[in-house]
Amino acid sequence: MARAPSIVRESLKVRVQSGFKNPLVVRDGEGCYIKDVDNKKYLDFHSIVCTNNVGYGRPELKEVIKQYSKRGVYKIDGTFFYTEEALILAKKVLKTLPHSLKKVFFINSGAEAVENAIKLVYSKKGPYTGVCMENAFHGRTLGALTFTNSKSIHKRNFPMFPHHELQFCSEKDYCRYKELEDLIVREVTPAFVIMECVQGEGGYRPASKAFVQYLRKITKEHDIAFIIDEIQSGMGRTGKWWSFEHYNVVPDIMTAAKSLQVGATITSAQYDVNKEEIGSISSTWGGGHLIDLAMGSAVMDIIQKENLVKNAERMGKYMLNRFKEIQMKYPGKIIDARGLGLMIGVEMDNKHRQQKIIDAAFKGKLLLLGASEKTIRIAPPMVIDEATADKGIEILEKLIKKY
């Protein structure tokens, strides 16, 4: 007798409905595939929202868990005590970044990483207006939520900080480049600008290079903190360790999480905590969740050892080309196929078609996830090869043809 239906049914009685996408009860995984409690095998085309960039069933990660099972302590207050795991991971993260990004603050999640990026700026400048992009997503905690604009339900009835939204400019958009300058002249010099170089929940939309460089230029000229959110796009997914590398800019502060296994706020010296500010940012488990920190370190080692950043670049080009070919076959159904590395958005002509395809794909053992109103995100584990990619693309093409 199948176990998944009863687990789903009982879960809905005792758990808050936070947005479960399909009745999948995860038990195991191998490579690009997830297995449920009934041993059904699903090809994962979104890496559980980019949290599993190196795939499933990794012996290196199993070994980390095995080694820590021998320990008598797994979680300590990482802001009161030092841990070797936090030191090792911080050094590995900083090694992938420009030298101007000098210090790391570890935290539980991506939203908390954004919260602390904002707090670092407010500590120096005061609680002035922050600037974000239309259709941005930076998290669901109240501070980060102010600067999140991808879906109205995320913010309904919640209070917000002073903020201003700019148009997000992709290569295909007509862009109002002077918008930030106009804000400064008309109203106020903001404390910070925060953006994703590739919007995640906003539809897997890469920003135009000219737009990102313009924002960096204006923020430098006016001493405005420039924060880049790498929570989904980082850790090699776009074919670079960090998506901002595609744009020849360097932020003042960066956030990371998901595939890193912990949240991280990485700052330049300008926004580092000084002696008078010690205690302004803190967290019980920040830098003290030993297993997650060790797992993050092992993930970075795998990415480097197996050259998965290069594979994300190569396979991203391959898969995007395949989707562009499918778009040419069905131009009335697919209005755009875009992306950077293995962060690809296939935008349908309407939400109804998008959802029908996602639901049907689950029945066909392919895991898909929406982004924005009409887009299907394609973000498989970075270990994917052409044969595995072709299996998922073949399923998806049949569904596009059908629906």
Model confidence band, residue 169 (pLDDT cutoffs 50, 70, 90): very high
Q: How far apart are CA 220 and CA 300, in angstroms?
A: 31
Beta strands in 124-269 (DSSP E): 130-133, 163-166, 192-195, 198-199, 205-206, 225-229, 253-256, 263-268
- Among 385, 394, 366, residue whose Cα is nearest residue 316: 385
Residues shown for the chain: 403
Mean predicted confidence (pLDDT) in 392-396: 98
Tell me what pLDDT residue 158 has: 87
Q: Does position 174 have pLDDT exceeding 80, yes or no?
A: no
Q: Does position 173 have pLDDT exceeding 80, yes or no?
A: no
Fold of 4-54+307-402: Aspartate Aminotransferase, domain 1 (3.90.1150)
Tell me what pLDDT residue 185 has: 93
Mean predicted confidence (pLDDT) in 307-326: 98
Mean predicted confidence (pLDDT) in 242-254: 98
Task: Pick the range with the lowest mean pLDDT from 97-111, 162-176, 223-237, 261-275.
Answer: 162-176
- Residues 207 and 247 sit within 8 Å (Cβ to Cβ): yes
In the chain, domain spans: 4-54+307-402, 67-305
Tell me what pLDDT residue 104 has: 97
Tell me what pLDDT residue 80 has: 86
Tell me, yes or no, if the pTM score tops 0.75. Answer: yes
- Residues 111 and 139 sit within 8 Å (Cβ to Cβ): yes
Mean predicted confidence (pLDDT) in 242-252: 98
Q: How far apart are CA 219 and CA 239, in angstroms?
A: 26
3-state secondary structure of 355: helix
- Angle at the Cα of 324 from the Cα atoms of 321 and 327, rounded to 5 degrees: 155
3-state secondary structure of 219: helix
- Quote the percentage of the chain above a pLDDT of 90: 87
Phi, psi of 180 (to 5 degrees): -65, -45
Q: Please state which CATH number belongs to domain 67-305.
A: 3.40.640.10
Tell me what pLDDT residue 155 has: 82
Highest mean pLDDT: which of 77-86, 174-183, 332-341? 332-341
Give the CA radius of gyration of the chain: 21
Model confidence band, residue 58 (pLDDT cutoffs 50, 70, 90): very high
